[in-house]
Chain A
Amino acid sequence: MTAVSTYLLTGMALFLVGLHGLLTLQSMLRRIIAVNLMGSGVFLVLTALAARVPDADPVLHALVVTGLVVSISATALALRLHGAIQRHREDDDS
């Protein structure tokens, strides 16, 4: 087992833990966190693949930097939609 293969497997495990959480958890906040974990798993797989090359692959690193910013944008929008849904429900109840 090299370091690359252990981190590849860890990334996969994180993705699956996130996917499991997304499918089974009921709280919306936890589901959004679960999607973030899935993203981290994917980033970990990409970075482990980048580490196979002697000097680390800059193309994959650039991809992951892009991915990090996209994931925070998506998270912010998702949390905002979650807040809006909850307010909508409260208004219906009252």
Chain B
Amino acid sequence: MKRFFHSELEAFRSTLVLMGERAIEIVRLATQALIEGRIELCEEALQQDDAIDQLELRIDNEGLRYISLRAPVATELRLVAIGMKAGQNLERVGDEACTIAKRTRELLSEIPPRSLHHIPRMAELTIEMLRDAIGCLVDEDSEKARLLPNRDNEVDALHRENYRQLSAILAREPENVASHLHLIFISKSLERIADHATNLAEEAIFLYRGEDLRHAPEIKAASSGTLKQSPPPL
């Protein structure tokens, strides 16, 4: 029996989807700015961040209200709990995208880099992961969600390679340290966005199957082929 307050849950889910779309868009704008050398896209990306922050507040308020007034259980409770966590993840994605946009703006204002190394490929993979993770939440596809940790490994590997290459260049060309540091941080931000996408996928699995796979052996096994190693110090 559909109750009169179930429309509030649908509105909550819609807000989450909207926030997901906004997060994908801000990452796309920020990375496109870097790849195509278009500084105006940096500004466009930065303007999106406030809206993402407001959506996080709305999700938290709506979630808290629903828990307090409607006493949800089972799937409804998991949706609200996961939704609030997903909102935090997506807000962090927005912040990381802002970091990319700001550093890109700096880069393009100074001397544009000769090479972006593996950053374009990282951006492509990360945006795909984000899109798929949000899709898992919307489409109730927990099976697709299980595959995301493997793809995160690929992003991690690309970040480590970026770090290795850029560290070597820094050693040879100390006069361009600022430019190469920007690229290292941008690579790191993309790696963090991919981590957030993986978190969203784990949350989708918990939502639709009730399984909490955080720190689960199968997730660790999927990650163990290429451990998340800290890059060596400069």
Decide whether A and B assemble into one complex: no
Task: Using CB atoms and an 8 Å cutoff, list the residues of chain A in contact with chain B.
Answer: none
